Amino acid sequence: MLYYLRLMTLFLIDSLFVFFAIYLSHFVLYFHVYNLSLDFPLVMSSLILLFSYYIFAYFFQLYNRAWEYASIGELTAIFKAVTLSVIVTAVSQLAIDHSIHYRRITVAWMILILLIGGSRFAWRLFRDSYIKPIGERKRTLIIGAGAAGILVARQLLKRDSELLPVAFIDDDKEKQHMRVMGIKVYGGTDCIQKAVEKLNVEHIIIAIPSLKTSELNHIYIECSKTSVKTQIMPKLEDIMLGKVSISHFRDVQVEDLLGREPVELDMKSISKTLTGKTILVTGAGGSIGSEICRQVSRFTPKKLILLGHGENSIYEIDLELRNKYQGQFEIIPVIADIQDRTRIFEVVEEHRPDVIYHAAAHKHVPLMEYNPKEAVKNNIIGTKNVAEAADQFDVKTFVMISSDKAVNPTNVMGATKRIAEMIIQNLDKTSDTKFVAVRFGNVLGSRGSVIPLFKKQIQAGGPVTVTHPDITRYFMTIPEASRLVIQAGTLARGGEIFVLDMGEPVKIVDLAKNLIRLSGYDEEDIPIKFTGLRPGEKMFEELLNENEIHKEPVFPKIFIGKTTNLYMDEVNDIINHYEMDNAELKQKLLDIANHRVSIKKAVKSSI
């Protein structure tokens, strides 16, 4: 009902405008209005112009537009409809009267564009000024006056937005002090503080999708000096795919400040490895294991086995994947402990996987210092069980998730990871299965990472505890690490240890400061407290020694290590006699992992 009422109202208004334009043009040119009703050509011109305008207005959909959002596109449509209507009227005049009143029809054309265009834009002006009073909207600074920034500004100018754009910030000198969509480009990023103070800005939106991490860090540091809430626009691919709208601004995350440029994967080789194949993931309920399951699912395997010890975590990833990939491939949740050799062999024999991603492990450094026997049972014996099952039942590829802590380990967790690497490297020598390991550092947001701990401490009002002001770690997002693990699996020839390029190490204290700022506080609100290094903790992590890694990557961000020694006699001795004093066990583990055993007993292997 409202639609038809609106349509009839616009029809009536436009009809009055057409007649008014014709008669006003005649009056302006000839200054005699008293006998206009007797001018037959004038009446005919009015009727022809009216009906031709209706036709072109319908063609250009002038009556189906939301005029409260009128912009250049709507003005262009009005211009085309009026111009074509006037041309039809002029041709009709020539046919009827054998002449064209050029001046009168030109003036009528100008008046009609002014009246119709002005009436539509007047509604937008009324909506912006009175329906949504400016005082009720937060004054917003948009960083980036490019295509994305304009898209954001256009969205914010709508009446349902709580934000009002008052200025742009852009480092492009040619744009500075110009106006974009009527909004001034105040200056470069060095002017953010000044713009916030002078324009009473209450909200900041970063709208530059192409920003590199270092650039985003610089901009965010400048924004954080203002204490104004800062958000970032959604990713353009998410907008294009319809996952979110342009107005779904999100808070800046620590992943944004630490992330790296994405790597283009070799989708063809990954698809060849995974599509239509049976894949088994151990530790499928963990942070890395569950993400590997998500990434594998994108390639539509024949069967995906989710193996884990914790029933709740396996239930959650099973439910998630079933909801998303209903009926596309078989999903089998398996509750099993990798320390249970019989059970693991049963699972592998039953499903005969083509690829195994072995992500199950105890990874918490301080906990493993107190529980070295459990580290041996899970990380070493558990890995041996899964690997030997893979060998016996002809699994094509076995990919073990390792750690940067396996390099020159100073702790039990790192030592057991390095020994697990030795086991699969040695097994690769006699097996048809391709056994490889992939090393990388900390992943952002994983259960054992420092970030969830920092967030809980911030929510509790602090302090945020950091072990040492100079301690550094490598960080990578969970999706990136999982994608590179899958890519490394396609590069496997057997026996390699792939090393992921983790970028530059990050100081943990800087990470803590970023999280405090991202949470809307400063260090006066949430103090940082240094607690000292924990048992087995290193000041910095290594992925490989310089003399242990080939300089050229085999794939972007993926390297392969050189040869090293395997101490299988000592490894087997640990497996068979790990029930000893914790201190003695730890020392033996560190000696093997750090190559502090007799070279005569060692065999060479490529890492």
Query: Tokens standing for 140?
Result: 């917003």
One of 277, 363, 384, 405 is an active-site residue; which one?
A: 405
Structure tokens given for 396: 């094509």
Helices (H), 352-447: 365-370, 372-375, 383-392, 412-428
- Residue that the structure tokens 């005049």 belong to: 93
Provide the strand spans (E) within 319-413: 330-335, 355-358, 397-401
Cα separation of 537 and 553, whole Å?
A: 29
Positive or negative, the Cα torsion across 443, 209, 132, 120? negative
Three-class SS of residue 453? helix
The answer to whether 440 touches 502, Cβ cutoff 8 Å, is yes
463 preceded by a cis bond (ω within 30 of 0): yes
Q: Which two tokens stand for residue 71?
A: 């912009």
Please name the residue that has the structure tokens 């005699």.
32
Q: From CA 85, how far away is CA 83, in angstroms rounded?
A: 5
- Residue 437 has phi, psi (to 5 degrees) of -125, 155
* CA-wise closest residue to 553 among 495, 493, 488, 604: 488
C-alpha 384/C-alpha 307 separation (Å) is 16
Residue 284 to residue 477: CA distance in whole angstroms: 17
Residue 173 annotated as catalytic: no
Residue 270 neighbours by CB under 8 Å, 6+ apart: 299, 486, 487, 490
Q: Distance (Å, rounded) from C-alpha 271 to C-alpha 296?
A: 9
Q: What does the block give as tokens for 142?
A: 């948009």
CB atoms within 10 A of CB 240: 8
Q: Exposed (0-12), middle (13-18) or buried (19+): which is 300, by Cβ within 10 Å?
A: middle
Please give the Cα distance from 458 to 465 (Å, whole number). 10
Q: Checking phi first, is residue 520 left (phi over 0); if not, alpha (psi -120 to 50) or beta?
A: left
Is-contact 220 253, C-beta < 8 A?
no
Alpha carbon 587 to its chain centroid, in Å, reads: 43
Task: Return d(Cα 597, Cα 591) in angstroms, integer.
Answer: 7
- The residue behind tokens 């209903």 is 326
Residue 391 C-beta-side C-alpha neighbours within 13 Å: 18
Q: List residues with catalytic annotation.
A: 405
